[in-house]
Amino acid sequence: MRTTLLSRWSALALLLLCTACATTSPQYYTLKTPLSLQPAASSKEPAYQGFVIKQVDIPLQLDRRQIVLSRDGGAQVQLLNDFQWVSPLGDELQLALQSGLQARLAKPELATVLAGDKYWLLSVAVSGFDSVLGRHVAQEFSWNLQARGFQAPTYQCRLLQQAQTSADLEALVLAHQQLLGNMMDILTAQMNSQSYAGADGVLLSCAG
């Protein structure tokens, strides 16, 4: 009788433990940089009304909510179900670009455009978004940036960039935010016909 009672208590304890594990909420992260950390917008009034992000293309294996860690060497990956982006990575990138460019340009992303509107049209493709915990993060993008309704160069660019990071997941996310900020600094310079000062770990090639 005592053995049976102990067995029941053990089974109940195991069930409660499994239930607690199953209901653990993931921690969520975003690629959007807080507004207080965004660089100041240019004081020069540009010739355009805003911009439109036409698309952010991303491979299906990357477009997920779980943060994906690459093993050093790249042959294996680990999906972190307990650590996720607020939205799928493609949406996170688009929202971060929208927020960051609006802050830098002091111009909105246009919800609708009419004949005669002056704006930049941006298409982005993601080729790589790597996270190696305790070592580095790396991003690879290409984009096409076209002026609509006014005269300006068209830019076709490819960006490779990498930054060192620690074994802390929040530091890894911050490193990705900083790299994405480099890309937005480049886009801002192109839209405002300015030169880009460059940053460590950034390899940029453009035709335009």
The alpha helices in the chain, defined as continuous H runs, are 2-22, 89-105, 169-191
Distances (CA, A) of 56 to 53, 75, 92, 150: 8, 26, 10, 24
Model pLDDT, residue 71: 81
Model pLDDT, residue 74: 63
Domain containing residue 33? 29-207
In a domain, 160, yes or no: yes
Model pLDDT, residue 202: 94
In a domain, 50, yes or no: yes
Q: What is the CATH number of the domain that holds 157?
A: 3.40.50.10610
Block means of pLDDT (10 residues each) for the chain, length 208 residues? Answer: 48 47 80 70 76 97 95 81 97 97 96 96 97 96 97 97 96 97 96 90 90
In a domain, 24, yes or no: no
- Pairwise CA distance, residues 127 & 148, whole Å: 26
Model pLDDT, residue 73: 64
In a domain, 85, yes or no: yes
Strands 66-70 and 119-132 come out as: unpaired
In a domain, 202, yes or no: yes
Model pLDDT, residue 46: 77
In a domain, 10, yes or no: no
State both tokens at 169: 């997941």
Q: Judge whether 154 and 193 are in contact, CB under 8 Å.
A: no
Contacts 24+ apart (CB under 8 A), 84-88: 84/26, 84/27, 84/28, 84/29, 85/28, 85/29, 85/30, 85/31, 86/28, 86/29, 86/30, 88/63, 88/64
In a domain, 74, yes or no: yes
Model pLDDT, residue 23: 57
What is the number of domains present in the chain?
Answer: 1
pTM: 0.84
In a domain, 158, yes or no: yes
